[in-house]
Structures are given as C-alpha cells and as structure tokens.
Amino acid sequence: MNAALLIAGAIAVAGGLGVVIGRTPVHNVVSLIVSFIGLAVLYLTLDAEFIAIVQIIVYAGAIMVLFLFVIALLTTRRDPVQNRKPEPSGQTFFGIVTAAAVLMFLVGGVLGLEAPGGEGIDETFGQVAAFGRELLTTHVFPFEIAAFVLLVAVVGVVILVGRKQA
Amino acid sequence: MSETALQGYLALSALIFTLGGVGIMVRRSPLIMLMCVELMWSGAALALITFARHVGNMDGHIFAFFVMIVAAAEVAIGLALIVVLFRRREEVDADDIQQLRG
C-alpha cells in the first residue's frame, strides 16, 4: 500500500508540476489529466472505488474535454508566445516563497497530527451501493441543492456566452 | 490505517494544494489559473477521502462528491468568462483585467 502511495503520489505531483510549468495550454491539460489519474489510483488505495471512477469519468473525461474545447476555440488564431509582456518583477519569486510558507504551515500541522484511528471498515465501504444509500437518504437535501447549483451554472453559461456580440 | 500512511496521504494532499496555489500566483493566463484551481480542489478532495478511510465513515466520500459537482459548475462558469474575455481582446493576461480595481 505504501508503494502505491509513493508511485501514484509521484505521478500526481509530476502532473501538477507540468500544469504549473507548461507553456502550451494543451500540454497543461494533458498534465492535469495525468495528475487526475494518479489521484484516482490514490482514491482506489483508500477504498474509495466510486469516487475513483467518478474522478476518471467526470474530471479526466468531461471537464478536461471542456478545457480542450475552449483552447481549440480560442487559441488557434495566434501564437500564445507572441507579444508576451514582461513579467512584473519578482512575481515568480514571491509566489513561490508564499506557497512555500503555506506548505510548511500545512505539513507542520499534518506532522503534529494525533488522529485516533476509527473503527475498521466493512465490506461495502466506498462501493456504489453504500455510496448511493448514503447520498439518497442521509444527504438527500444537499443532493437537491447540488442539482440546483448545476442548473444555475448552466443558465449562467448560456447568459454569458450565448449573448450576441454587442 | 497507520499513522505514517495517514500523514503521507495528508502531506501529499498539502503538496498538491500548494502546487495549485503556486500556479495561481505565478501564471498569468486565466485558462491556466483555472486549471490550477482544479488542482487545489483535488488536493482538498484527497484529504477528505483520506480522513473518510481513516475514520471509517463514508461522509467524506459524499463531501468529495459534492466538491466535484461544485468544481464542475465552477469550471463551466469560469470557462464562459474566459470565452467572453477572449472575445473582447486578442491577448488575455490576468493583469490586464483591472476595470474593477479601485
């Protein structure tokens, strides 16, 4: 299990680095997909089968295809490297320093953590049937709200993009 | 789940979250900043699922599922905003979008 953590974690982090460093938007998207696949493997090692599958289908599939569509729609006409303005001085440096401070804070909290282990898990933990029962009984009200959030998002997108050019 | 494994997963989740944060602060293309936000969501979801396994309670899975739903809505709106921005001007840089600056 620890070997899986190391390998899948390395893949996820490498994909994340690719997203931050890559200069061509398509490469960034591919890196992000690699990162999401690594995360899905991590979810599998944590017995979260359903979430791992949803991660692959929804994230690595649907959402990333949406990104690819937007890139294909918008950046065909020009070379993104062209007429790039000079970076504000020190942006990269200060960004990395701030993030390093946040990382040290978070990891410090993790290393000082004393979490009592819960009771063991049963056979059905993380499987679709158990997940569905939880979602549609205990958490049915948030589920309805989530449906409404998606509806609002769809209407918002249509209002933003569907408007005729002014 | 052993204490070291728990800490390993949580440290990884912190690392992925921070990586997304670096991207948002360093990159200036709105499209890539949006991808980095996705990375941060994923780091948080990993922590949720780690604790769900540790405690032996599936509520963390439900929460991670809702995180994905909200992320999907956010991506749809964010990409729509980016499309509108690209329509208005040729080259989009996050530093150029400052009409609301006081």
Radius of gyration of chain A (CA): 21
Determine, for residues A156 and B80 on separate chains, whether the beta-carbon distance falls below 8 Å: yes
Q: Which residue does chain A place closest to B2, by CA atoms?
A: A117
What pLDDT, in 10s, does the model give residues A84-112? 566 667 888 888 899 899 999 988 888 88
Distance, in Å, from the CA atom of B11 to the CA atom of A42, rounded to the nearest integer, reads: 13
**3-state helix vs strand vs coil in chain B, percent to 5:** 80, 0, 20
Maximum pairwise Cα distance, chain B: 54
Determine, for residues B87 and A165 on separate chains, whether the beta-carbon distance falls below 8 Å: yes
Distance, in Å, from the CA atom of B74 to the CA atom of A121, rounded to the nearest integer, reads: 33
- For this complex, say whether ipTM is above 0.95: no
Determine, for residues A135 and B62 on separate chains, whether the beta-carbon distance falls below 8 Å: yes
Is A112 touching B (CB cutoff 8 A)? no
Distance, in Å, from the CA atom of B72 to the CA atom of A156, rounded to the nearest integer, reads: 13
Task: Give the pTM.
Answer: 0.89
Which pLDDT tens digits describe chain B residue by residue (102 residues)? 788 888 899 999 999 999 999 999 988 888 899 999 999 999 999 999 999 998 888 899 999 999 999 999 999 999 998 888 888 776 667 777 777 776
Q: Do the Cβ atoms of A70 and A29 come closer than 8 Å?
A: no
Q: Which of A20, A46, A62 sits opposite B19 (nearest CB)?
A: A20
